[in-house]
């Protein structure tokens, strides 16, 4: 195995994810972010021949990491279509779902994908290579107002208008085609000593717009209450505050606004109960080995047993 393959396969907080799923050997489990297959392979090892694992991934590169088994099914699709695909497979409900959000190490490192600020690749950032919208479209075709919206909502920039205006002025002279060219455009306005963070925020915002990540996450979470059996587990790992806020609110309140809804008797209406009140963070020893784990937050919830 090459170093590149090893990086692709490094699963974050593997032990914590497996414990969170509370795996039963004859259960049905779903990994909606298959990637390098690290989490999936560990789950599969804990299943017997009566158990089943279904894996989702929209990135064609992920399929090279699959294996052949009667009780392993791979779905080459975005996890926002979770419920429909499980129904088509004849699986109405499952015992647990794992979601490891964000971009895989492979996607960051693979050339021509345009996710990383450290290289000079084509502006792409599509997790689904067949998607119509790319980072090049966003950077060169969005209006200044649209770019401001993207940078404010997804990048949480202090001055989104400054970044948007800088890009619009630069592209009026020459189309911005690569990640390196975008960095050069942004360099004059990057905060001193915080350049890396600034570039990362801009790239994150563009990537999330290209892949419609927050809307996709909301659609996925809303479906979990229908497909997870009572007593089953939902385990979600996020890497930035926007994702974690949605996951936290949904697990705590059953909605994305964090609003408490109660029935006639004063009972809080929500489909899940938290197993962990606070997010689980990786150990320092894991961060030393895998820097991608640094910002990871793991939340675990159990489907309520007394109905919705």
Express each pLDDT in 203-254 by its tens digit: 999 999 999 999 999 999 999 999 999 999 999 999 989 999 999 999 999 9
**Domain count across the chain:** 2
User: Could you please report the per-residue DSSP string of the chain?
Assistant: --HHHHHHT--TTHHHHHHHHT--TT-EEEES--TTSHHHHHHHHT--TT-EEEEE---GGGGGG----TTEEEE-S-GGGHHHHHHHTT---EEEEEEE-S--HHHHHSTTS---SSS--BS---SSTT-S--HHHHHHHS-HHHHHHHHHHTS--S-HHHHHHHHHHHHTTS---BHHHHHHHHGGGSPTT-HHHHHHHHHHHHHHHHHTHHHHHHHHHHHHHHHEEEEEEEEEEESSHHHHHHHHHHHHHSSSS----B-TTS-B--SEEES-SS-B---HHHHHH-GGGGG-EEEEEEE-SS--
Average pLDDT, the chain: 90
Q: What is the mean pLDDT of residues 89-95?
A: 97
pLDDT band at 196 (very low <50, low <70, confident <90, very high): very high
Contacts by 303-307, CB closer than 8 A, 24 or more apart? 303/225, 303/228, 303/229, 303/230, 303/231, 303/232, 303/233, 303/234, 303/271, 303/272, 304/230, 304/270, 304/271, 304/272, 304/273, 305/230, 305/231, 306/230, 307/230
The reply to whether 308 falls in a domain is no
Indicate if 234 and 90 belong to the same structural domain. Answer: yes
Same domain, 194 and 123: yes
Q: What is the pLDDT of residue 9?
A: 52
Shared-domain flag, residues 189 and 219 = no
Note whether residue 47 is domain-resident: yes
Q: Are residues 152 and 299 in the same domain?
A: no
- Residues 126, 99: Cα–Cα separation, whole Å: 19
Of 148, 181, 211, the position where a domain reaches its end is 211
Whether the predicted pLDDT of 11 surpasses 50:
yes
Pair 13, 90 in one domain = yes
| Residue 276 buriedness (CB in 10 A; 0-12 / 13-18 / 19+) | middle
118 and 149 fall within a common domain: yes
Residue 256 falls within a domain, yes or no?
yes
**Are 121 and 197 within one domain?**
yes
Q: In this model, does residue 109 exceed pLDDT 60?
A: no
Given this model, what pLDDT does residue 161 score? 96
CA atoms of 137 and 54, how far apart (whole Å):
33
Last residue in a domain, options 164, 185, 211: 211
Please tell me whether residues 119 and 196 are part of one structural domain: yes
Q: Establish if 154 belongs to a structural domain.
A: yes
Q: Quick one: tokens of 124?
A: 């792409």
Same structural domain for residues 66 and 125?
A: no
244 plus 205 within the same structural domain:
no
Q: What is the CATH number of the domain that holds 61?
A: 3.40.50.150
Average pLDDT over residues 84-89: 97
pLDDT value for 3: 41
Q: Is residue 268 part of a domain?
A: yes
Same domain, 8 and 98: yes
User: Would you say residue 24 lies in a domain?
Assistant: yes
- The pLDDT value recorded for residue 112 is 66
Domain CATH number, residue 174:
1.10.150.170
The boundaries of the domain holding residue 34 are 3-105+213-303
Residues 20 and 168 in one domain: no
Could you say which of 161, 193, 211 is where a domain stops? 211
Mean pLDDT of 181-202: 94
* Averaged pLDDT for residues 102-116: 63
What per-residue confidence (pLDDT) applies to 292? 80
Q: Which residue has the higher pLDDT, 129 or 39?
A: 39
pLDDT at 110: 56
4 has a pLDDT exceeding 60: no
The pTM (predicted TM-score) of the whole model is 0.89
Residue 154 has pLDDT above 70, yes or no: yes
Proportion of the chain above pLDDT 90, given as a percent: 75
């Amino acid at each position: 195995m090459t170093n590149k393959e090893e990086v692709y396969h490094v699963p974050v907080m593997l032990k914590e994810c497996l414990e969170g799923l509370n795996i039963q050997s004859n259960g049905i489990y779903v990994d909606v972010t298959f990637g390098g297959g690290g989490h999936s392979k560990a789950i599969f090892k804990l299943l017997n021949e009566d158990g089943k694992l279904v894996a989702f991934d929209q990135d064609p590169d992920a399929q090279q990491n699959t294996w052949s088994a009667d009780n392993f099914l791979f779905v080459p699709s975005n996890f926002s279509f979770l419920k429909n695909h499980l129904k088509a497979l004849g699986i109405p409900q499952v015992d647990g779902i794992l979601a490891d959000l964000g971009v895989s190490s492979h996607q960051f490192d693979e050339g021509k994908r345009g996710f990383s600020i450290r290289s000079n690749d084509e502006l792409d950032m599509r997790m689904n290579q067949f998607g119509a919208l790319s980072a090049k479209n966003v950077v060169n075709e969005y209006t200044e107002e649209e770019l401001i919206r993207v940078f404010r909502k997804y990048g949480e920039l202090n001055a989104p208008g400054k970044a948007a205006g800088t890009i619009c002025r630069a592209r009026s002279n020459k189309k911005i085609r690569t990640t390196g060219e975008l960095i050069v455009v942004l360099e004059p306005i990057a905060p001193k000593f915080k350049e890396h963070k600034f570039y990362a925020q801009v790239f994150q915002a563009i990537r999330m717009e290209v892949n419609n990540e927050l809307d996709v996450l909301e659609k996925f979470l809303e479906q979990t209450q229908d497909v997870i059996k009572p007593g089953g587990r939902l385990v979600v790992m996020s890497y930035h505050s926007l994702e974690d806020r949605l996951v936290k609110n949904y697990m705590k309140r059953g909605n994305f606004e964090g609003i408490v809804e109660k029935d006639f008797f004063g009972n809080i209406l929500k489909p899940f109960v938290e197993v962990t009140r606070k997010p689980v963070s990786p150990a320092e020893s894991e961060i030393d080995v895998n820097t991608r784990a640094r910002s990871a937050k793991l939340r675990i919830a159990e489907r309520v047993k007394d109905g919705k």
